[in-house]
Structure 1
Amino acid sequence: MFAMQPKIDSEALPFLLRASRKQQSLTDAVSELRGIIERQLQASGGILFRDFHLDGAEAFRSFAASFGHPLLSYEFGSTPRTQVSSGVYTSTEYPPHQSIPLHNEQAYTRDWPLKIWFYCEQPAQQGGETPIADSRLIYRDMPAAIRSRFAEKGVMYVRNYGSGLDVDWRDVFGAQSKAEVEAYCAAHAIACEWKDGDELRTRQVCQGTAVHPFTGDKVWFNQAHLFHVSSLAPEVRESLLDIVSDPLELPRNAFYGDGSPIEDETLAAVRDVLDRHKIIFPWQAGDVVMLDNMLTAHAREPFKGPRRVIVAMAQAYGLQ
């Protein structure tokens, strides 16, 4: 038997599935309760597995793979990560003092994972939580004019690689040759152009909102608020704009899908809605969180002390 609790504090997300005895295997729980877990995941959007036995990164990889979908590699990434094992990566390697806003994994592309798992091997001494939020509620709470504009126009993401200010294109594409990059871009509806030397620019028009393929729910699904220049600290933004006057030349930026600029005030309103829906729960060593990546966004709080959270993704889906 497994102890199920639908709430942590006053929130229904994440659904809490707790072991009823010590050393209860998490993989065994999946084999016994897979149908219930899948239904609950679509209902609540996220499940927290707590107090189960899970012995390290390889056991976590096996657990995630046990849901029947090959684990995905981190292709066309936007943040630095380190591969731990096949299909398992460190969480985003940003400095501890930085927060990471709510987002859905790879919502800046036209294909993404439907499932994502986080395994907390070591919680931070202070902070370091992984906040989550219901993307359905974010969609419903978004001002109607903004929601309609993003749904109609989508988002165009522009990235410039090779300036030393962003992830190198070789790491992003997992490639060493320009031909490999061009082939990947052609297969994924990404426009690419080579600039001076080894510098590269990509543009891709993606969704602003989306419909879940199984539940039919409409969700807020983009990363305009992360890529847009307004996401930078004011002093960093001013310094960059002193050097680069053309918004297309910034290391990364976001526009409406027709190429027109997204207003700062629009993204301020978007961030306000996201912040209102943020749910924060404390990590415990051994916790695993499983999210439906379309139904639930995630983030990261600043932290102090060592912290190790690793990630796996599966069940590719998208607009290709």
Structure 2
Amino acid sequence: MNIEIQPISERIGLKITSVDNANILKLDLESIINLFKSYGVLLFRGFATNTEIFKEFSNLLSTDFIDYAGGAFARRVINGDKTLLSVNDYQFEIKLHGEMYYQKTIPLMVWFFCAHPASEAGETTVCDGRQFFNEVSSSTKKLFSQKKLKFTISMSKEDWQRKYQTEDLSKLEEICRNNYTHLKVNADKSIIIEYICPAIIPSSCGKYQVFINSLLPTKQLNPKILNFDDDSEIPDDVIAELNEVAERITTNIVWQKGDILMIDNTRVLHGRRAFADEKRDIYIRLCAPAFSA
């Protein structure tokens, strides 16, 4: 198998390229696992892939796939498989974030597959949360060590039934308990949920601090639902600093058809650039690694 391995960028990840359109299922899994543990992001390019091969390859390295119930965005199910979703229902920019960091239960690993790239723009963005932490000012580090993030969301009965994919209130109560989310049910069955979490967490190995959360896209798209846990507002200058750091250390993944991207969701933030091409089609799978961290 003729393989080239090089950094995705000077900042992050590895790109594993097949020179001869090889079968990705023939890659040595132990080598892939070791590279993933070291780099946190792997981009596979030039292999013979399609949607089914993507599923088979991700199945070899992953477990506990989830269906995005409770997720923030509408996502189209692909080929009837609720663990295979399109991320193209919206075309605007989405700022760097950890996947589903507005609840306790998160996917530890995220996969992307490029079924069809945009003719221009629409890059997926990635950033190492350890580097992000190191780049943030000492005053902002101190602020986030003293205060946690609080998400407060109001939803109509119809909205929460659609978001959590259930009409059963007891099932919703169970979901919220499992996610350490405070639930208030109103007389008309509308709800208010509150979830509190840190913006900075220890790395899975315990050696580093990692800035990884859903702060930036929430402040971008729905700013009123996010404050500190004491209900004080996150200062504008702090948001500006985080956006400046994010833009400075972000790497753009310029998609090619058939690309597969493997991301450690405990360490690496991701997002995407805006795009206009309606033919862009990127799929996502959310899961845990089938190997020890």
Q: Same fold (TM over 0.5)?
A: yes
Residues 92 and 260 of structure 1, relative CA distance in 2, 3 Å threshold? farther
| Stretch moving more, 259-268 or 120-129 | 259-268
Q: Structure 2 residue aligned with 1:297, among 269, 273, 287?
A: 269
Runs (5+) with no aligned partner, structure 1? 238-249
Cα separation, 1, equivalents of 2:6 and 2:146: 36
Cα separation, 2, equivalents of 1:291 and 1:114: 9
- Equivalence for 2:285: 312
Q: Map 1:117-266 to 2 at 5 A.
A: 117-162=111-156, 168-195=159-186, 197-214=188-205, 216-228=207-219, 231-232=220-221, 250=224, 253-266=225-238
Question: Does the 8 Å CA contact 1:6/1:12 hold for their aligned counterparts?
Answer: no
Number of residue pairs aligned between Structure 1 and Structure 2: 286
Amino acid corresponding to residue 308 of structure 1 in structure 2: D
Question: Does the 8 Å CA contact 2:97/2:215 hold for their aligned counterparts?
Answer: no
Aligned-residue CA RMSD (Å): 2.1
- Equivalence for 1:53: 48
- Equivalence for 1:43: 38
Residues 232 and 75 of structure 1, relative CA distance in 2, 3 Å threshold? closer
Q: Does 1:91 align with 2:91?
A: no
Cα separation, 2, equivalents of 1:52 and 1:292: 21
CA positional deviation for 1:68:
4.1
Q: Does 1:268 align with 2:267?
A: no
Cα separation, 2, equivalents of 1:218 and 1:21: 40
Runs of 4+ in structure 1 deviating by more than 4 angstroms, as ranges, are none
Question: Does the 8 Å CA contact 2:7/2:15 hold for their aligned counterparts?
Answer: yes
Cα separation, 2, equivalents of 1:172 and 1:137: 33
Amino acid corresponding to residue 83 of structure 1 in structure 2: V
Residues 92 and 139 of structure 1, relative CA distance in 2, 3 Å threshold? farther
Identity of aligned residues (%): 22
Question: Does the 8 Å CA contact 2:11/2:249 hold for their aligned counterparts?
Answer: no
Residues 171 and 216 of structure 1, relative CA distance in 2, 3 Å threshold? farther
Cα separation, 2, equivalents of 1:232 and 1:204: 18
Residues 313 and 177 of structure 1, relative CA distance in 2, 3 Å threshold? same
Question: Does the 8 Å CA contact 1:64/1:71 hold for their aligned counterparts?
Answer: no
Deviations 1:256-284 (Å, cap 9, x if unpaired)? 12332222222121111111111113110
- Equivalence for 1:11: 10
Deviations 1:5-52 (Å, cap 9, x if unpaired)? 2224x5252311011312x111221xx2x2222222222221110011
Amino acid corresponding to residue 39 of structure 2 in structure 1: S
Cα separation, 2, equivalents of 1:258 and 1:63: 45
Amino acid corresponding to residue 54 of structure 1 in structure 2: T
Residues 113 and 65 of structure 1, relative CA distance in 2, 3 Å threshold? same
Cα separation, 2, equivalents of 1:205 and 1:44: 29
